[in-house]
Chains A and B, each alone.
Chain A
Amino acid sequence: GQQVMQIPQYQHVQEGEDFTTYCNSSTTLSNIQWYKQRPGGHPVFLIQLVKSGEVKKQKRLTFQFGEAKKNSSLHITATQTTDVGTYFCAGPKNTGNQFYFGTGTSLTVIP
């Protein structure tokens, strides 16, 4: 069945280091979304990518959508303690308005 996997599952970095999480789908996606969930919080929408090869930036965050539209990445430059949380990608199911969420990458930033 359709699956969305993320690696790594956990990542510890020193503050100031870069961080990347990768998202891979077993099927081609029409679009992909990224969410951030702070500890004890709820997922918050970050961005949606639609076009093949698309790259979008939000300050220190860079999002990419693969050429084949089956993978995506989120890169954070010079992490800060405020970046702590779990980052999820989400891809649409083949039918309906539902999304498969990736397995998530939990980021810990060590001050």
Chain B
Amino acid sequence: DTAVSQTPKYLVTQMGNDKSIKCEQNLGHDTMYWYKQDSKKFLKIMFSYNNKELIINETVPNRFSPKSPDKAHLNLHINSLELGDSAVYFCASSQVIKLAHEQYFGPGTRLTVT
């Protein structure tokens, strides 16, 4: 009964490949996010999405695209992978109630591009 789950946990692939990471939340939240955490542990928001709006952080290359088949899922697709894409990717969700945005994070996917 994991609240936010991600698959796979580890992903090793070569430069130029296309890959996807899946995320599911069973909390009934209306907003989901993707974060990238680099080797220095900096956490950067990549996308936020609810059933009305996709917000893309301006620094995210267009090789990255979120896909949401329904409210409980937000998958991350990455085209033409580069070495610099190696990082841990976290999915998160929240239910926005007034100013409260408590975010629940998934376990993370460690992506290694060789």
Contact = CB atoms under 8 A, between A and B. Distances in A.
Interface in A41-67: 41-45, 48, 50
Interface stretch (A11-19, A70-78, A93-101): A93-101
Interface in B45-68: 45, 48, 50, 53, 55, 57
A45 B57 CA distance: 22
B96 interface: yes
Interface hub of A50, A92, A99 (most chain B Cβ within 10 A) = A99
A45 B41 contact: no
Contacts of B31: 97
A98 B96 CA distance: 11
A106 B42 CA distance: 11
Say whether chain B's binding surface is mostly helix, strand, loop, or mixed: strand
Which 4 A-B residue pairs are closest in the complex by CB-CB distance?
Answer: A101-B43, A42-B105, A96-B55, A45-B102
A92 B31 CA distance: 14
Contacts of A86: 41
Interface of A: 30-31, 33, 35, 37, 41-45, 48, 50, 86, 88, 92-93, 95-101, 103-104, 106
Interface residues of B, number: 27
A8 to B, nearest CB: 14
Nearest to B91: A42
A48 B102 contact: yes
Nearest to B106: A42
A86 B53 CA distance: 31
Nearest to B50: A97
Nearest to A106: B41
Contact of B105 (A33, A43, A50, A100): A43
A101 B94 CA distance: 15
A100 B90 contact: no
A43 B43 contact: yes
A96 to B, nearest CB: 4
B101 A97 contact: yes
B104 A45 contact: yes
